[in-house]
């Protein structure tokens, strides 16, 4: 492994940084520029629709994870707990509430504007409902909810599709029209959706590049950066497409030159273990967390967390010919909106398609949507694939629930298990 | 035999403690019929009943069941009800159920439905995705959900659900809800007579008993208790909230009461009291069930509240019952209850209503600590009243 002291930055990383900084700059000046602001969630987000109204989105869970990475979340969580929030519940929520109570300063240090609309995309997570009920108490603005029914039987039924589409047409679009003072420009929406589909195509190519050996990407630790533009404020915009073109060129270059992904420790070219991973990462010690794996020569070849804001590998693309229907299908298709048997199948396919040595579950204390049932999922996947399953625990943004020593211990046993299986094979 | 309150409550306690659900087994044999289980909080039991089946509420294993295998399925930070429910399933105690419904209430119960699909193949398993949009869009979706469920119930039972059978079932459950409302009113009026532990057991019995039998039990209890001479006590009047899914152990209910609190309203076994008005009996009973869900119901954490009325349902409960304070009793790791709590506490503070809060599990053994807390809360109200 080629260890370097300085973190390598590729063009795509720098571009993304500029995009994010630019977005937060626009948000900080939203009121003076007379721009309306919509708070909404990543899973099932309606970025194209928001952008079609020329509004700016804010994603509370992205602010929370950014606070985690910047070591601010611990204080924010304690601030929320001081005001009566339980230690048992989602730390994203508490981090967001704490940040708001401390002045709502965004990740780049600039103040975030208050919302003009709370757009609650209720997709794959019950806590989202409560989160926006909490925000509703804090902000004097309208709220509109879009419910995406859960794919309990492993499919999207016509009734589910109709329900979401009707809500979009009859509830969400009118709410956006009211707040923005504009009628929906359907041609503009189509343009945005066309661009989304092109970016999605590029992202799928990037995910599939991990089938190479060595893998040119880390689909988890690197993957969380790759999803940045498409899952948040940029999907549908030209800069989003540009970002994925540049990223794809970088990935193609690494494939051609048999190079591994860039990690904080340098390029990971000697890849000892190819692993599929389920569950979100820990953000408060993100770099340490990544280093634990990079030091062992682990490359993550596929992950489920990077599908929370859209699962594209099965062919779904936003469709300009069916704008609202396809926005609805997008919401319905996000990873945590899938049943547990379907999630097992997704992971099984990843393990087989990406020729993984095993799979790992990072079980997150404050995310029941992901975590409840993961121990059974692990058994089922082991049974179906014969590959070794590992289980570690941490939290999203609560630094009190990250123990590098515990994780290392568990991983040590886990890698021994993989080695034993290799010898056995 | 004359049904005294005491022997009715003894019967309820037997049902409560019977984790082999012998009543269900016997009812099925006697009626040559099927039974469908359901998890908290709300399912339209009328639809199960109209297919000639027994609706059976499953609320975990309580504090009488040792968890041997269930814990291996859940991390330490998941509430207790799914692990004891898995234990019930793995030990064959739910074998008499011909299906199990998992209503949308939280991510844990949602995911439990998927676990059930993987672990108990061949059984009818339904995740009942209730709409959180209570307008026209939600109506169409919920109609489809209920139609899907009705078709499955007809297949399982071999009985057609007709307008007549559904109307009959709705009428029986309306009467049951009326009697339960009367029981709650009676407790609020004479809480020294209607002990909360009695009411809790009567409510839990509704999970198991066929509705007509349960209604008769309520009538008999109220006749008996009205004539009782239980002594008046100097307790404060409180409302308990947050216990709508995983239920507190009976010992905890008794401890709260014995600590000096008359519980004059609560939200346990909330599905019994979900509808605030009777459901229409008439030409379109299925539509009436749907309207009842979308319309006037209790406010609870699993039901989305978009407007500015958050917390006012509880405030009105406090006022209507002449309560002097609120106890937030929530199951540990219960996302809906614990996320709701700070919002409602803010409203209580604004309305100058005192409250205290604790967490429990269905097998909580640390009763004394909680008893001291609720006792201190009661004392503080007695000493200083509402500030």
Identify the pLDDT of residue B314.
Answer: 98
Measure CA of the first residue to CA of the last residue in chain B; give whole Å: 51
Measure CA of the first residue to CA of the last residue in chain A; give whole Å: 26
Identify the pLDDT of residue A425.
Answer: 65
Whether A129 and chain B come into contact, CB under 8 Å, resolves to: yes
Residues of A in contact with B359 (CB under 8 A): 86, 88
Cα–Cα distance list, A127 to A75, A123, B339 (Å) = 21, 10, 8
* Residue B349 neighbours by CB under 8 Å, 6+ apart: none
Phi, psi dihedrals of residue B278, rounded to the nearest 5°: -60, 145
Identify the pLDDT of residue A3.
Answer: 38
How far, in whole angstroms, is CA A12 from its chain's centroid?
A: 18
Cβ–Cβ under 8 Å, residues A277 and A303: yes
Cβ–Cβ under 8 Å, residues A192 and A330: no
| A216 DSSP assignment | S
| A170 DSSP assignment | I
Closest by CA to A200, choosing from A222, A229, A164, is: A229
Q: Can you tell me the distance from the alpha carbon of B200 to that of B178, in angstroms, rounded to the nearest whole number?
A: 17
Cross-chain residue pair A84–B129, CB shorter than 8 Å: no
Residues of A in contact with B346 (CB under 8 A): 137
pLDDT exceeding 90 applies to what percent of chain B?
Answer: 95
Residue of B nearest to A138 (CA): B343
Cβ–Cβ under 8 Å, residues A138 and A131: no
Residue of A nearest to B139 (CA): A163
Cross-chain residue pair A126–B110, CB shorter than 8 Å: yes
Alpha helices in A181-285 (DSSP H): 186-208, 223-226, 228-231, 238-256
DSSP state string for A322-341: SHHHHHHHHHHHSGGGB-HH
Residues of A in contact with B126 (CB under 8 A): 152
Q: Which of B113, B141, B334 sits opposite A149 (nearest CB)?
A: B141
How far, in whole angstroms, is CA A60 from its chain's centroid?
A: 12
For the stretch B196-210, pLDDT in tens is 999 999 999 999 999
Residues of B in contact with A410 (CB under 8 A): none
Task: Give me the CATH code for the A188-424 domain, please.
Answer: 3.40.50.11900
CATH of A11-185 among 3.40.50.150, 2.40.50.460, 3.40.50.11890, 3.10.180.10: 3.40.50.11890
Closest by CA to A87, choosing from A365, A283, A282, is: A365
Identify the pLDDT of residue A29.
Answer: 96
- In the block, which residue shows the tokens 């609190």? B261
Question: Shortest Cα distance from B338 to chain A (angstroms)?
Answer: 6
The yes-or-no verdict on residue B387 having pLDDT over 60 is no
Domain boundaries, chain A: 11-185, 188-424
Residues of A in contact with B145 (CB under 8 A): 159
Q: What is the pLDDT along chain A (425 residues), one digit of tens a residue?
A: 343 444 566 899 999 999 999 999 999 999 999 999 999 999 999 999 999 999 999 999 999 999 999 999 999 999 999 999 999 999 999 999 999 999 999 888 899 999 999 999 999 999 999 999 999 999 999 999 999 999 999 999 999 999 999 999 999 999 999 999 999 999 999 999 999 999 999 999 999 999 999 999 999 999 999 999 999 999 999 999 999 999 999 999 999 999 999 998 889 999 999 999 999 999 999 999 999 999 999 999 999 999 999 899 999 999 999 999 999 999 999 999 999 999 999 999 999 999 999 999 999 998 999 999 999 999 999 999 999 999 999 999 999 999 999 999 999 999 999 999 888 76
Identify the pLDDT of residue A2.
Answer: 41
Closest by CA to B369, choosing from B275, B273, B256, is: B256
Whether A77 and chain B come into contact, CB under 8 Å, resolves to: no
Identify the pLDDT of residue A422.
Answer: 84
Helix-then-strand count for chain B, H and E: 14, 8
Cross-chain residue pair B346–A137, CB shorter than 8 Å: yes
Cross-chain residue pair B112–A145, CB shorter than 8 Å: no
Cross-chain residue pair B114–A170, CB shorter than 8 Å: no
Identify the pLDDT of residue A4.
Answer: 42
Same fold, A11-185 and A188-424: yes
Q: Can you tell me the distance from the alpha carbon of A69 to that of A367, in angstroms, rounded to the nearest whole number?
A: 18
Domain boundaries, chain B: 22-160
For the stretch B88-136, pLDDT in tens is 999 999 999 999 999 999 999 999 999 999 999 999 999 999 999 999 9
Whether A140 and chain B come into contact, CB under 8 Å, resolves to: no
The yes-or-no verdict on residue B385 having pLDDT over 80 is no
Cβ–Cβ under 8 Å, residues A165 and A328: yes
Identify the pLDDT of residue A107.
Answer: 80
The residues pairing with B358 across neighbouring beta strands, listed in sequence order, are B329
Class of B22-160 per CATH? alpha beta
Q: Which of A93, A126, A373 sits opposite B114 (nearest CB)?
A: A373
Q: Can you tell me the distance from the alpha carbon of A24 to that of B15, in angstroms, rounded to the nearest whole number?
A: 60
Question: Shortest Cα distance from A389 to chain B (angstroms)?
Answer: 15
CA Rg value for chain B: 20
ipTM computed for the complex: 0.96
Pairing relationship of beta strands A266-267 and A262-263 according to DSSP bridges: antiparallel
The yes-or-no verdict on residue B336 having pLDDT over 70 is yes
């Amino acid at each position: 492994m080629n260890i370097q002291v300085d973190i390598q930055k590729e063009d795509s990383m720098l571009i993304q940084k500029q995009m994010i900084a630019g977005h937060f700059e626009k948000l900080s000046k939203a009121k003076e520029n007379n721009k309306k602001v919509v708070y909404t969630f990543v899973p099932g987000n309606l970025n194209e629709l928001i952008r079609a109204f020329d509004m700016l989105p804010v994603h509370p869970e992205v602010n929370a994870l950014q606070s985690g990475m910047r070591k601010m979340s611990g204080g924010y969580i304690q601030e929320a707990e001081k005001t009566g929030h339980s230690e048992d519940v989602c730390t994203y929520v508490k981090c967001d509430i704490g940040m708001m109570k401390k002045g709502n300063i965004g990740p780049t240090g600039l103040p975030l504007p208050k919302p003009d609309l709370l757009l609650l995309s209720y997709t794959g997570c019950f806590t989202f409902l409560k989160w926006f009920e909490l925000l509703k108490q804090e902000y004097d603005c309208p709220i509109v909810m879009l419910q995406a029914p859960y794919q309990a039987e492993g499919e999207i039924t016509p009734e589910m599709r109709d329900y979401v589409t009707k809500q979009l047409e009859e509830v969400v679009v009118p709410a956006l029209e009211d707040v923005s003072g504009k009628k929906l420009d359907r041609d503009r929406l189509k343009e945005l959706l066309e661009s989304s589909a092109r970016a999605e195509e590029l992202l799928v190519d990037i995910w599939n590049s991990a089938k190479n050996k060595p893998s040119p990407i880390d689909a988890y630790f690197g993957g969380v950066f790759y999803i940045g533009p498409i899952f948040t404020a940029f999907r549908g915009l030209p800069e989003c497409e540009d970002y994925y073109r540049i990223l794809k060129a970088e990935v193609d270059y690494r494939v051609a030159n048999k190079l591994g992904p860039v990690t904080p420790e340098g390029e990971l070219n000697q890849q000892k273990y190819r692993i599929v991973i389920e569950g979100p990462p820990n953000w408060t010690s993100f770099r340490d967390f990544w280093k634990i794996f990079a030091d062992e020569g682990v490359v993550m070849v596929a992950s489920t967390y990077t599908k929370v804001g859209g699962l594209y590998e099965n062919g779904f693309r936003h469709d300009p010919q069916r704008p609202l229907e396809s926005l609805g299908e997008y919401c319905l298709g996000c990873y945590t909106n899938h049943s547990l048997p379907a999630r097992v199948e997704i992971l099984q396919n990843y393990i087989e398609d990406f020729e993984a040595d095993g799979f790992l579950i990072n079980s997150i204390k404050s995310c029941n949507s992901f975590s409840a049932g993961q121990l059974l999922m692990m058994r089922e996947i082991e049974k179906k694939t014969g590959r070794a399953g590992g289980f570690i625990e941490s939290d999203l943004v609560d630094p009190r629930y990250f123990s590098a020593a515990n994780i290392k211990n568990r991983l040590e046993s886990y890698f021994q298990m993989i080695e034993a299986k290799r010898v056995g094979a | 035999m004359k049904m005294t309150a005491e022997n009715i409550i003894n019967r309820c306690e037997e049902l409560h403690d019977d984790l082999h659900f012998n009543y269900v087994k016997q009812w099925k044999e006697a009626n040559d019929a099927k039974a469908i289980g359901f998890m908290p909080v709300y399912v339209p039991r009328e639809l199960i009943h109209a297919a000639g089946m027994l609706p059976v509420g499953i609320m975990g294993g309580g504090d009488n069941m040792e968890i041997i295998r269930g814990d291996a399925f859940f991390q330490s930070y998941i509430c207790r009800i799914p692990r004891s429910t898995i234990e019930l399933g793995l030990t064959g105690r739910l074998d008499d159920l011909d299906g199990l419904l998992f209503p949308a209430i939280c991510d844990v119960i949602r995911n439990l439905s998927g676990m059930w699909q993987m672990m108990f193949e061949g059984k009818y398993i339904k995740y009942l995705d209730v709409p959180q949009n209570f307008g026209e869009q939600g109506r169409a979706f919920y109609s489809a959900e209920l139609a899907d469920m009705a078709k499955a119930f007809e297949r399982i039972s071999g009985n057609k659900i007709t307008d007549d059978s559904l109307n009959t079932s709705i009428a029986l459950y309306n009467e049951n809800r009326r009697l339960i409302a009367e029981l709650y009113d009676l407790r609020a009026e004479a809480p020294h007579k209607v002990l909360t532990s009695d009411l809790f057991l009567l409510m839990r019995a509704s999970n198991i008993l066929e509705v007509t039998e349960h209604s008769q039990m309520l009538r008999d209890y109220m006749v008996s208790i009205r004539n009782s001479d239980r002594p008046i006590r100097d307790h404060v009047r409180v409302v308990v909230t947050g216990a709508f899914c995983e239920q507190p152990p009976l010992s905890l209910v008794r401890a709260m009461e014995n600590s000096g609190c008359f519980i004059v309203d609560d939200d346990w076994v909330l599905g019994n009291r979900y509808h605030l008005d009777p459901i229409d009996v008439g030409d379109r009973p299925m539509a009436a069930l749907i309207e009842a869900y979308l319309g006037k119901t209790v406010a609870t954490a699993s039901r989305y509240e978009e407007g500015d009325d958050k917390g006012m349902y509880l405030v009105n409960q406090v006022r209507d019952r002449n309560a002097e304070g609120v106890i937030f009793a929530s199951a540990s790791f219960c996302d809906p209850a614990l996320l709701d709590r700070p919002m409602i506490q803010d409203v209580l503070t604004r309305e100058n209503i005192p409250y205290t809060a604790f967490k429990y599990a269905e097998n909580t053994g640390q009763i004394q600590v909680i008893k001291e807390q609720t006792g201190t809360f009661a004392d503080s109200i007695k000493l200083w009243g509402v500030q």
